[in-house]
Structure 1
Amino acid sequence: MRGVNIGYIQSLKINPNSILVSVYITSSDILIPKNSIIETSQTSLFNNTVIDVIPLEKKIINSSNNINVFQQNCYKSQVLCHNQYIIGQRGLNYDDLIRATTRISQRFDDPRLFSLFYFFLQNSLEISDDFVNISTNISKLSDIFYSSLKYLFLCHL
C-alpha cells in the first residue's frame, strides 16, 4: 500500500471467470480503507506480480478510534476487516505493453499510412503557398488603399 510491502499472498483460488486471492496483512495496525482500488501489476519482465492497494480518499483514521479488524463492530467502519473482501482489477503488465507496441509498429508498417502522410504534407505545402499569396495580395491592396486615402486627403485639404 502506497509503495510499502504490507503482506503477502496466502492462497489463490482460480474460477473460470475470476481469481480469489487471500492476502495476509502482516500487522493488524494496517488499516485499508474500503474505498480503495485493488490492482495486480507486473513489476518486471520475469512476471513478478504485486497487488497494489490505492486508497481513493484521504481519511484520517486515528488509533484512538480503537478499530480492531478482528472484532464484529469493525464491519461497520470504513476499513477492511478480517475475512472481508474487495473486488480488484487487473492492472498493468508487460504482455499488454508488448501487444500494444506490436500493433503500433504494424500500423506504421502500413504503406497506406505513409501515402496519407505524404498527401497531407503536400496539401499543407500548397495551403501555405496559397496563404503566402493571399498575404502578399492583401499587403498590396492595403498599400493601394493607403496611397489612395493619402492622395484623397492631401488633394482636399
Structure 2
Amino acid sequence: MEFYNAFGISIGTNVKMRGVNIGSVKDIKLRLNTVIILIDIKSTDILIPKNSIIEATQTGLLKDTTIDITPLEILDTNEIFYIDHFSSHCYKSRVLCNYHHLYGERGINYDDLIRATTRISQRFDDPRFFNLFYLLVQRLNNVSNIMLNFTYDVNKITFLIASYLDQYVTENF
C-alpha cells in the first residue's frame, strides 16, 4: 500500500477489512514522496478487490492506528473461485495479487478533530461573534412575538367567523 504520509502506522499495525482483522503491517519503506507499506495477510483465501478504499484511521483513546480496507464492489464468487494470487493471470482479475498495491489515504484522525475543535472555540471566543449571535437571538425573539400576536389575532377572527356562521345557519335553516 502506498500513502503520502505514514499517519502513525508502524510495523505490526492491524489491517482490517469490513471490520475484521485480516493481517498486519510487515514492513515500511520511506520513499522521496510516499511511504510504501507492506502488509501480511493472514490467509490466501482473503481476496481484496482492486476497487477498494484504503484508509489509515486512529481509534480508541490511545490513538491506535489501523488500516481499514473498504471494498467498493461486490465480487462474483464464480469469477474469483479459481484465482491464484501468485499466478501471472491474477493481474487481469478484479482482486489484488501478490505484490500489487493500492493507494491509501488518511481516514478519521484525532489531530484533525482537535484542530477543528480549537478553531470552533476560537470563533466562540470572538466578541464580534457574540454580538452577532445576541442580535440574531433578539431578532428571532421579536419575530416570534409578532408571530404569536398574529396567531392570536387569527384565532380571534376565526372564532368570530365561526360564531357568525353558526348564528346564520341556525337562523336560516
1:120 paired residue number = 136
- Structure with higher strand content: 2
Residue from 101, 110, 123 that aligns with 1:94:
110
Q: Distance in 2 between matches of 1:152 and 1:91?
A: 72
Distance 1:151 1:40, change over 3 A: closer
TM-score (norm 2): 0.74
Report % sequence identity.
48
- Is the counterpart of residue 68 in structure 1 residue 84 in structure 2? yes
2:126 paired residue number = 110
- Secondary structure at 1:79's aligned position in 2? coil
Q: Which has the larger radius of gyration?
A: 1
The 4+ residue runs of structure 1 with deviation greater than 4 A are 136-154
- Secondary structure at 2:132's aligned position in 1? helix
State which drifts further: 33-42 or 120-129: 120-129
Number of corresponding residues: 157
Distance 1:64 1:140, change over 3 A: closer
- Secondary structure at 2:21's aligned position in 1? coil
Q: Distance in 2 between matches of 1:25 and 1:150?
A: 82
Residue from 48, 55, 77 that aligns with 1:39:
55
Give the drift of 1:49: 1.5
- Secondary structure at 2:86's aligned position in 1? coil
RMSD (Å), alpha carbons:
2.8
Q: Per-residue CA shift, 1:74-122, capped at 9, x if unaligned?
A: 1111100001111111111211111111111112222222211211111
- Is the counterpart of residue 18 in structure 1 residue 59 in structure 2? no
- Is the counterpart of residue 50 in structure 1 residue 66 in structure 2? yes
Q: Distance in 2 between matches of 1:116 and 1:55?
A: 46
Consecutive unaligned residues of structure 2, counting only runs of 5 or more, are: 1-16
1:27 paired residue number = 43
TM-score (norm 1): 0.81
